[in-house]
Amino acid sequence: MTPETFKAWRAHRRLSRREAADALGVSVATIVLYEAGKRRAPDNRPVVIPKTVALACAAISFNLPEMS
């Protein structure tokens, strides 16, 4: 999942950054970094959106029940 596809997913679902963060179990800062495609590190290495996050996005899109 690229930063662009992540942003498109959030926009399509009409989720705020807070709502997306809560749904994915991450911080709002993480959402900001995913969408910017950069890390906070001084070298600004590209951020890698984990496959688990991409799968969670897909599960939310298909309204799959949350697993405990």
Q: Model's pTM, two decimal places? A: 0.80
Residue ranges of domains in the chain: 3-61
DSSP state, residue 46: B
For 39, 40, 49, the CA distances from 43, given in Å and listed in that order, are: 8, 8, 18
Whether the per-residue pLDDT at 35 is higher than 90: the answer is: yes
Amino acid symbol at 33? L
Whether the per-residue pLDDT at 31 is higher than 70: the answer is: yes
CATH classification code of 3-61: 1.10.260
Look at residue 4 in the predicted model and tell me its pLDDT. Answer: 94
Burial class (CB in 10 A: 0-12, 13-18, 19+), 22: middle
Q: What is the pLDDT of residues 37-63, one digit of tens each?
A: 887 667 777 888 999 999 999 989 887
**What tokens were used for 34?**
């995913």
Look at residue 39 in the predicted model and tell me its pLDDT. Answer: 72
